[in-house]
Amino acid sequence: MEPAKIVAELGCNHMGRMDIAKEMIRMASKFCNATAVKFQKRNPRECLSPTEYNSPHPDPYHAYGTTYGEHREFLEFDIDQHRELKEYCQQWEIIYSSSVWDMTSAKEIVSLQPYFIKIPSACNTYFEMLSYISDSFGGEIHISLGMTTRKEEEEIVKFLQKKKREKDSVVYACTSAYPVSFEDTALMEIKRLKDSYGGIVKAVGFSGHHAGIAVDIAAFTLGAEWIERHFTLDRTWKGTDHAASLEPDGLRRLVRDLKAASRALNYKREEILDVEKVQRAKLKWNRNKDR
pLDDT in tens, 140-191: 999 999 999 999 999 999 999 999 999 999 999 999 988 899 999 999 999 9
Quick one: three-class SS letters along 146-181?
CCCCHHHHHHHHHHHHHCCCHHHEEEEEECCCCCCC
* pLDDT value of residue 243: 81
Count of domains in the chain? 1
Nearest residue to 96 via CA among 166, 35, 187: 35
**Residues in contact with 165: Cβ distance below 8 Å, sequence separation at least 6, in sequence order:** 134, 141
Which pLDDT score is estimated for 74?
94
| Model pLDDT, residue 1 | 82
Cβ within 8 Å of residue 94, ≥6 positions away: 25, 28, 29, 34, 35, 36, 37
* Strands in 33-188 per DSSP E: 36-41, 95-100, 116-119, 140-144, 169-174
Amino acid 80: pLDDT: 98
Residue 244's pLDDT is: 84
DSSP 8-class letter at 97: E
Residue 261 domain-assigned?
yes
**Cα–Cα separations (whole angstroms), residue 121 to 146, 177, 192:** 5, 11, 18
pLDDT tens track for 22-56: 999 999 999 999 999 999 999 999 999 999 999 99
* Residue 195, burial from CB neighbour count under 10 angstroms (0-12, 13-18, 19+): exposed
For residue 291, being part of any structural domain is answered with: no
Residue 99 belongs to a domain: yes
- Residue 184 CB contacts under 8 Å (≥ 6 apart), including other chains: 175, 177
Q: Are 238 and 62 in contact (CB under 8 A)?
A: yes
Whole-number pLDDT of residue 47: 93
Which segments of the chain have a pLDDT < 50? none
Residue 290 lies in a domain: no
The model's pTM is: 0.94
Instruction: Look at residue 289 and tell me if it is in a domain.
Output: no
Closest C-alpha to 15, from 238, 228, 234 = 238
Contact 22, 50 (CB under 8 A): no
**What is the rounded distance in angstroms from the CA atom of residue 87 to the CA atom of residue 82?**
9
Q: How many CB atoms lie within 10 A of CB 12?
A: 22
Task: With respect to residue 227, please indicate whether it lies within any of the assigned structural domains.
Answer: yes
CATH number at residue 261: 3.20.20.70
In which region does residue 186 sit, left (phi positive, over 0), alpha (psi from -120 to 50) or beta (all else)? Answer: left
Structural domain boundaries, residue 97: 5-283
